[in-house]
């Protein structure tokens, strides 16, 4: 086994010791790093499975992210922004505070009150960060939707959260094309009368239609005062809803609070990235995902970090774009995904080798298991064996990293492909089907034993579903939905999802959600979706479809169905292959035998299939997979 001893990092042995003695006291001491206008009276109220941290305490996310930095260093650079077309902007913390205050005042004049929901559908521009912090400043709950989602997906989310305001832009740029965001929003909210206003940022200046409820961002904020007091909110006040896919057809609104979440993000950002005043940090995640919330918005800003924000594809308009950005801004810390790394690897070593990457000192990864081969490439070709690879495991629901090497805290020892050990103050186990801890080196389900500060408050509007999804498989243990192994050194090896959730290019998608997308097409009677390993995207989407009587398979129908998924869910959900079959493999009680599909997809043994209704269905699927593998082998 390779063991990479990286002699950097602090050597603080006290933190882990304190955390293992009393994890609640430990998190309490971490919370001291934030600004509180009133101190909490109870560190943790734990009414399983509902955790409320720092109860009685009052704070504000925007105050922690801006005012505290501005008081010390107003001209500190917050954002180096670069557009795909080469445009650039630089914003200091003072600039951000002014813009956030103006927008917060504008939201108040539009009647936004504490607790109101605001949907944000923007490209990766500074106004996205400004929008989130303006909401947080006045206690409105932001809910960001990734700009790769369709009108239908936006509608579902806006309707579920009952957002009063939507913040969007005329357009965004991606791979040289213009994405007409405002048009998508107009389609999404037709007939949703509770949406009072749409704030439109003029970013790409493409022509768009305006109605009485639309407000131009610039016109709206131009007359606003550049000061807005941050409202001190209960620690347990909701900060945001972020929709994510699960095993059911409908995405779930993960709800995060304020004080606990910020504490988790503040501490982990320091421990993971060992952030220094001189660093230039670059996280390639879109703010539409949780990584962007925690480690583009709240984590870096609360630490007064300087970061690069980039709108567009990392390999556009040249495959060397990412390396050019790194040398242009002198990036010291890069945080990206295994999918992006696999794509860069495919372009070959010449591109990174001919770029100046000497500023880099730390390399992070998140979102999917990283293959040891990719890990080693990242370590050698990008980091020149100087920079540690920080593989961070976590979820939308956990709010912040849970398993990671922590150079900001301790000397780290790395094993390629393992995310190392749990962070201090978090207690994990690997258990069997019955919740019993299993021996080292065997595969089981990852569970979290104690509440942690970044833990979701609940699912928006659905406490029952929250209980069922995370807390019903095991008693008093949070079920993460991932397979994992703990080795003899206590290192955790993440082995991918144990449920029907896919990770396609790092994007989280539920098979049930995709299947409902397919059956909403008039030609489809039944659908079964599974993922198969893909050498860049991690997983590719494969769909097996049974057509309704009267419809015949054709290449045109395949194209229509792909388009249908793009419009019902979004371009990120485009299936890689569609197969028309006459029957799906089902149990006699009518359930699709997913275990069988997965096994066939991964060339594993199918196990006991005696409960299968009709064995002939397996042959059809087997034939489809055989054909698929041939196609993949050729490509």
Residues that bind ligand WTA (CB under 6 A): 244, 289-291, 366-369, 391-396, 419, 480-482, 494, 497, 503, 508
Taking the complex as a whole, the smallest distance from the CB of residue 535 to ligand WTA amounts, in Å, to 17
Q: CB under 8 Å to 142, separation ≥6 — which residues?
A: 117, 118, 120, 131, 132, 135, 136, 239, 240, 241
Instruction: Show the tokens assigned to 208.
Output: 């768009």
CB of 173 to ligand WTA, least distance (A): 24
383/362 Cα distance (integer angstroms): 8
Task: State the nearest-atom distance from the C-beta of 539 to ligand WTA, in Å.
Answer: 10
In the complex, minimum distance from the CB of residue 104 to ligand WTA, in angstroms, rounded to a whole number: 28
Residue 383 Cβ vs ligand WTA, minimum distance, rounded to whole Å:
17
- Cβ proximity to ligand WTA: between 78 and 446 the closer is 446
Q: How far is the CB of 512 from ligand WTA (least distance, A)?
A: 16
Pick the closer one to ligand WTA by CB: 374 or 565. 374
State the nearest-atom distance from the C-beta of 518 to ligand WTA, in Å. 22
Distance CA 43, CA 165 (A): 34
Residue 295 vs 544, nearer CB to ligand WTA: 295
As given in the structure block, the two tokens for residue 427 are: 């207690």
3-state secondary structure of 441: coil
Report in angstroms how near the CB of residue 399 gets to ligand WTA at its nearest.
10
Nearest approach, Cβ of residue 244 and ligand WTA (Å): 5
Give min distance, CB of 564 to ligand WTA, in A.
24
Instruction: Give just the sign of the alpha carbon dihedral 630, 631, 634, 635.
Output: negative
Place of tokens 């269905």: 617
**Residue (93 or 478) nearer to ligand WTA, CB:** 478
Which uninterrupted H or E stretch holds 292? Answer: helix 290-292
Burial of 227 (0-12, 13-18, 19+ CB in 10 A): exposed
CA–CA separation, 260 vs 246, rounded Å? 24
Closer by beta carbon to ligand WTA, 57 or else 299 = 299
Identify the bridge partners of residue 429 per DSSP, sorted by sequence position. 447
Rounded Cα distance, 239 and 59, in Å: 11
Closest distance between ligand WTA and the C-beta of residue 484, in Å? 9
- Residue 307 or 396 with smaller CB distance to ligand WTA: 396
Nearer of residues 337 and 617 to ligand WTA, judged by Cβ: 337
Q: Quick one: tokens of 446?
A: 């990852």
Residue whose tokens read 């950097």: 8
**621-624 LR contacts (CB < 8 Å, sep 24+):** 621/544, 621/579, 621/581, 621/585, 621/596, 621/597, 624/544, 624/579, 624/581
Which of 220/480 has CB closer to ligand WTA?
A: 480
- Judged by beta carbon, residue 359 or residue 371, the one nearer ligand WTA is 371
Least gap, CB of 185 to ligand WTA (angstroms)? 23
Give the other-Cβ count within 10 Å of 178's Cβ: 12
The long-range contacts involving 552-557, CB below 8 angstroms and separated by at least 24 positions, are: 553/580, 557/523
Q: What is the CA radius of gyration of the chain?
A: 24
| Between 383 and 481, CB nearer to ligand WTA | 481
Question: Of 503, 544, 552, nearest to 628 (Cα)?
Answer: 544
CB of 315 to ligand WTA, least distance (A): 21
CA 567 → CA 19, 191, 586, 589, distances in Å? 48, 18, 29, 32
Query: CA angle, corner 80, sides to 74 and 85, nearest 5?
Result: 150
Report in angstroms how near the CB of residue 448 gets to ligand WTA at its nearest: 12
Rounded to 5 degrees, φ, ψ at 389 are -95, 120
- Dist CA 423 CA 402 (whole Å): 6
Distances (CA, A) of 531 to 36, 48, 218, 623, 634: 46, 34, 44, 16, 19
Residue (28 or 391) nearer to ligand WTA, CB: 391
For the chain, helix (H) and strand (E) counts, in that order, are: 21, 32
50-55 and 42-47 beta bridge pairing: antiparallel
Nearest-10 crossing angle of helices 555-568, 511-519: 120
Cβ distance to ligand WTA smaller for residue 179 or 492: 492
Q: Which is nearer to ligand WTA, 112 or 272 (CB)?
A: 272
| 6 or 290: CB nearest ligand WTA | 290
Cα dihedral sign for 155, 156, 157, 158?
Answer: positive
What is the smallest separation between the CB atom of 417 and ligand WTA, expressed in angstroms?
9
Nearer to ligand WTA, 97 or 501 (CB): 501
């Amino acid at each position: 086994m390779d063991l990479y001893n990286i002699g950097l990092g602090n050597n603080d042995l006290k933190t882990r010791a304190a955390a293992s003695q009393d994890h609640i006291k430990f998190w309490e001491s971490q919370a001291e790093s934030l600004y509180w206008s009133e101190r909490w009276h109870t560190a943790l109220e734990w009414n399983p499975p509902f955790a409320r941290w720092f109860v009685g305490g009052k704070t504000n996310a925007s105050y922690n992210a801006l005012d505290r930095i501005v008081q010390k260093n107003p001209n500190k650079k917050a954002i180096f922004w670069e557009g795909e077309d080469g445009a650039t902007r630089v914003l200091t913390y003072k600039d951000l505070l002014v813009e956030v205050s103006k927008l917060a005042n504008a939201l108040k004049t539009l009647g936004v009150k504490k607790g109101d929901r605001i949907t944000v559908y923007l490209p990766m521009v500074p106004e996205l960060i400004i929008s989130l912090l303006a909401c947080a400043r006045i206690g409105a709950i932001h809910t960001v939707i990734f700009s790769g989602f369709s009108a239908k997906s936006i509608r579902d989310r806006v309707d579920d959260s009952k957002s009063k305001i939507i913040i969007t832009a005329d357009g965004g740029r991606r791979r040289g094309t213009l994405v007409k965001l405002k048009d998508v929003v107009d389609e999404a909210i037709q007939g949703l009368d509770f949406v009072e206003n749409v704030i439109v940022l003029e970013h790409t200046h493409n022509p768009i239609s305006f109605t009485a409820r639309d407000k131009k961002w610039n016109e709206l904020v131009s007359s606003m005062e550049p000061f807005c007091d941050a409202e001190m909110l209960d620690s347990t006040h909701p900060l945001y809803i972020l929709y994510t896919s699960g095993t059911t057809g409908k995405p779930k609104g993960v709800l995060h609070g304020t004080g606990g979440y910020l504490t988790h993000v503040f501490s982990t950002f320091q421990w993971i990235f060992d952030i220094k005043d001189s660093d230039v940090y670059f996280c390639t995640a879109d703010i539409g995902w949780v990584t962007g919330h925690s480690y583009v918005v709240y984590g870096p800003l609360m630490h007064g970090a300087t970061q690069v924000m980039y709108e567009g594809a990392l390999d556009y308009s040249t495959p060397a774009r990412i390396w050019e950005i790194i040398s242009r801004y002198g990036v010291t810390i890069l945080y990206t995904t295994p999918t992006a790394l696999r794509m860069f690897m495919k372009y070959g070593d010449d591109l990174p080798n001919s770029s100046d990457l000497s500023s880099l000192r730390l390399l992070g990864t998140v979102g999917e298991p990283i293959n040891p081969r990719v890990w080693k490439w990242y370590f050698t070709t990008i980091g020149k064996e100087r920079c540690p690879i920080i593989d961070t495991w976590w979820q939308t629901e956990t709010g912040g990293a849970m398993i990671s090497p922590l150079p900001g805290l301790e000397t780290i020892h790395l094993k390629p492909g393992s995310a190392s050990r749990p962070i201090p103050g978090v207690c994990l186990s690997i258990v069997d089907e019955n919740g019993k801890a299993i021996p080292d080196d065997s595969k089981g389900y990852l569970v979290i034993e104690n509440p942690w500060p970044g833990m979701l408050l609940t699912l928006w509007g659905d406490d029952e579903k929250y209980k069922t999804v995370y807390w019903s498989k095991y008693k008093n243990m949070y079920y993460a939905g991932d397979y994992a192994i703990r080795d003899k050194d206590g290192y955790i090896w993440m082995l991918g999802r144990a449920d029907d959730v896919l990770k396609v290019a790092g994007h989280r998608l539920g098979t049930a959600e995709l299947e409902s997308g397919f059956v909403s097409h008039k030609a489809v009677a039944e659908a079964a979706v599974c993922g198969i390993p893909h050498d860049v995207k991690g997983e590719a989407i494969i769909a097996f479809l049974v057509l309704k009587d009267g419809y015949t398979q054709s290449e045109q129908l395949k194209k229509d169905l792909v388009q249908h998924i793009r419009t019902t869910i979004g371009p990120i959900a485009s299936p890689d292959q569609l197969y028309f079959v006459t029957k799906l493999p089902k149990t006699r009680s009518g359930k699709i035998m997913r275990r069988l599909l997965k096994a066939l997809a991964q060339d594993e043994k199918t196990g006991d299939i005696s409960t299968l209704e009709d064995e002939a269905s397996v042959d059809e699927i087997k034939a489809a997979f055989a054909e698929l593998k041939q196609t993949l082998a050729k490509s």
